[in-house]
Amino acid sequence: NAGVMQNPRHLVRRRGQEARLRCSPMKGHSHVYWYRQLPEEGLKFMVYLQKENIIDESGMPKERFSAEFPKEGPSILRIQQVVRGDSAAYFCASSPNRQTGTEAFFGQGTRLTVV
């Protein structure tokens, strides 16, 4: 799973700033899933993207959060006007097809701290 690259690994933002989290899927993977892990909780699904398409964003907060997966380049999770409650670990997973199963690999995560 070292093939899924997330950066930065740690990000500190002041309240009101923007946070941009990047995820480069494994080579050949065109499906990306973002998950958020709050302290003391399991991972919660946020959004599922394919190249240039948002397939399922049912787990995304309605405001301030957006995600994209352009034709070229990494997937980006963007959080505008961050608040303390956004502090969490954000994980990205990629798979070569729609069936996650054994073929989904997770990145190391980005730990966002809002001060």
Residue numbers at the binding site for another protein (CB under 8 A): 1, 4, 31, 33, 35, 40-45, 48, 55-56, 58, 91, 93, 95, 98-102, 104-109
Min. distance of Cβ 16 from another protein in angstroms?
29
Is the CB of 19 or the CB of 105 nearer to another protein?
105
Min. distance of Cβ 53 from another protein in angstroms?
10
Could you tell me what percentage of the chain is helix, strand and coil, using 3-state DSSP and rounding each to the nearest 5? 5, 50, 45
Q: What is the Cα–Cα distance from 32 to 71, expressed in whole angstroms?
A: 13
Is the CB of 14 or the CB of 58 nearer to another protein?
58
Q: What is the Cα–Cα distance from 57 to 59, expressed in whole angstroms?
A: 5
Nearby residues of 54 by Cβ (< 8 Å), 6 or more positions away: 47, 48, 67, 68, 69
Is the CB of 14 or the CB of 39 nearer to another protein?
39
